Amino acid sequence: MRGTLLVLNAGSSSIKFETFAAGPAPVALMGGQVEGIGAVPHLRLRDAAGALLADRGWQDGGAPRDHAEALDAILGALGDLRPAAIGHRVVHGGPDLAAPAAIDDAMMARLEALVPLAPLHQPHNLAGIRACAARFPGVPQLACFDTAFHRTHPWEADTYALPPEFHARGIRRYGFHGLSYEWIARLVAAEDPALAAGRLVVAHLGNGASLCAIRGGRSLDSSMGFTALDGVPMGTRSGQIDPGVLLHLIEAEGMTAAELSRLLYAGAGLKGMSGLSQDVRVLEASADPRAAAALSHFTWRVRREVGALAAAMGGIDALVFTAGIGENSAGIRAAVCEGLGYLGLHLDPARNRDGLPDVSAPGSPARILIRRTDEEAMIALHLTEALAGGPAGA
């Protein structure tokens, strides 16, 4: 399998992977994930059409214990793979890395220094890089950053209202989900250059959720800030919260930093509010009033963020829904769009129910779109550009 690009997205207990045929426009070949690393691992591999090629657990022993062993399991499932290049999703690129970067010892040291800014994500991203370097010595590797797309933010959107020395020390609004937003921006530009030159609010709604204002193809502002905790509520993350609440929990209730971290990252959001699940499908099907309340809060906050980001751009030409919830939940899309007529956003209920690419009502001054995001394909495109020494088309 020479002439193949390998893309890895390593999380705390999983590795998502996809292979692409190298060429001017990368073509997806196979992909899947190993989940449950360190607990009960399970590997699934599918072809480009979604057909299941491998489905393996390790009940008989020999389960991968870490990311390096999980990568060995992935490569065993992929067969005789010698990739031409390997691309990695890396959550944090810091304030300076505004484009994908070739990985060498110096770059690894820079990325290691950013671990305190993304302690729940960055170490696992780097573990995937090390595992690939050991397995494929000499094969070029590229780091693609979730923060890079947002480095075009103006200072006003980038800073907090703190003394300037904090900004200089890296306490600033970085923004995340940048690979998803970059893919959507390129996709819209290929479909409709005039629309892409205007003002988009993209709602990346999944287990992790955020929104981004994109004007002229460039990120102007994002709902996420210093960490991926900020902004709208998520599956298990709180989203924006009054800092005074955190001070109260520390001072009055004696919570430690570790306890706060567990609450805000894993015990809040849709799962924490509903007491049931972080899965929107489960909540939409539930008769429990807590489920309806959690969804109502979620869509309220998303709708509020749409208005804020439209204000930052001086208006809106299109609202784009993407990611697992945005692409698949007609109910969430309808609830978010309710009351956004003042922005010129009018939803067609039938088109929304059918999940069509354009769910705008006839005559809507601003469009409402559904687009599938593909972070792995975005990384493959960056790999293609790096190998060619120049940009490639989406």
State the pLDDT at residue 392: 43
State the pLDDT at residue 36: 82
Per the structure, the complete domain to which residue 257 belongs is given by: 178-370
The domain tally of the chain equals 2
Report if residue 55 sits inside a domain: yes
Strand order in the sheet with 318-322: 218-222, 209-215, 199-205, 318-322, 367-370
For all residues of the chain together, what is the average pLDDT? 92
Does residue 79 sit in the same domain as residue 224?
no
Report if residue 380 sits inside a domain: no
Does residue 347 sit in the same domain as residue 202?
yes
Residue 337 pLDDT grade (very low, low, confident, very high; cuts 50, 70, 90): very high
Lowest pLDDT segment from 44-58, 174-188, 342-356: 44-58
Does residue 190 sit in the same domain as residue 233?
yes
Rounded to 5 degrees, what are φ and ψ at 172? -150, 175
Nearest 5°: the CA angle 68, 380, 8 is 15
State the pLDDT at residue 388: 85
pLDDT at residue 102 tops 50: yes
How many distinct helices (H) and strands (E) make up the chain? 16, 13
Q: What's the distance, CA 224 to chain centroid?
A: 11
Report if residue 173 sits inside a domain: no
Q: Which residue's structure tokens are 């998520």?
A: 234
Report if residue 195 sits inside a domain: yes
Percent of the chain with pLDDT over 70: 98
State the pLDDT at residue 187: 97
Does residue 204 sit in the same domain as residue 306?
yes
Which among 89, 117, 268 is positioned nearest to 182, based on CA atoms?
A: 89
The residue ranking higher by pLDDT, 132 or 198, is 198
Report if residue 382 sits inside a domain: no
Would you tell me the crossing angle of helices 122-135 and 105-113 to the nearest 10 degrees?
160
Lowest pLDDT segment from 4-13, 83-92, 110-119, 241-250: 4-13
pTM, whole model, 2 decimals?
A: 0.92
Report if residue 196 sits inside a domain: yes
- pLDDT tens sequence across 55-93: 888 776 778 887 778 888 888 888 778 899 999 999 999
Report if residue 19 sits inside a domain: yes
Rounded Cα–Cα distance for residues 329 and 344 (Å)? 22
Do strands 101-102 and 199-205 pair parallel, antiparallel, or not at all (unpaired)? unpaired
State the pLDDT at residue 134: 87
Q: Which CATH number fits the domain that encloses residue 305?
A: 3.30.420.40
Does residue 200 sit in the same domain as residue 343?
yes
Rounded Cα–Cα distance for residues 296 and 290 (Å)? 10
- pLDDT tens sequence across 294-320: 999 999 999 999 999 999 999 999 999
Mean pLDDT confidence for 40-62: 84
pLDDT at residue 233 tops 80: yes
Report if residue 85 sits inside a domain: yes
Domain stops at, among 103, 122, 145: 145
Percent of the chain with pLDDT over 90: 76
pLDDT at residue 155 tops 70: yes
* Neighbouring C-beta atoms of residue 379, cutoff 10 Å: 29
Among residues 80, 105, 146, 192, the one annotated as catalytic is: 146
Does residue 229 sit in the same domain as residue 277?
yes
pLDDT at residue 391 tops 60: no
Residue 293 pLDDT grade (very low, low, confident, very high; cuts 50, 70, 90): very high
Q: Are 15 and 376 in contact (CB under 8 A)?
A: no
Q: Are 233 and 268 in contact (CB under 8 A)?
A: yes
DSSP result, 330-379: HHHHHHHHTT-GGGTB-B-HHHHHHT-SB-BPTT-SBEEEE----HHHHH
State the pLDDT at residue 304: 98
Residue 342 pLDDT grade (very low, low, confident, very high; cuts 50, 70, 90): very high
Does residue 182 sit in the same domain as residue 77?
no
In the DSSP assignment, the letter for residue 361 is P
158 in catalytic set: no
Does residue 132 sit in the same domain as residue 194?
no
Domain stops at, among 122, 145, 168: 145
Gyration radius from the chain CA atoms: 21
Q: Are 298 and 205 in contact (CB under 8 A)?
A: no
Does residue 116 sit in the same domain as residue 190?
no
* Neighbouring C-beta atoms of residue 158, cutoff 10 Å: 18
Does residue 110 sit in the same domain as residue 237?
no
Does residue 364 sit in the same domain as residue 291?
yes
State the pLDDT at residue 1: 45
- pLDDT tens sequence across 261-278: 999 999 999 999 999 999
Does residue 49 sit in the same domain as residue 184?
no
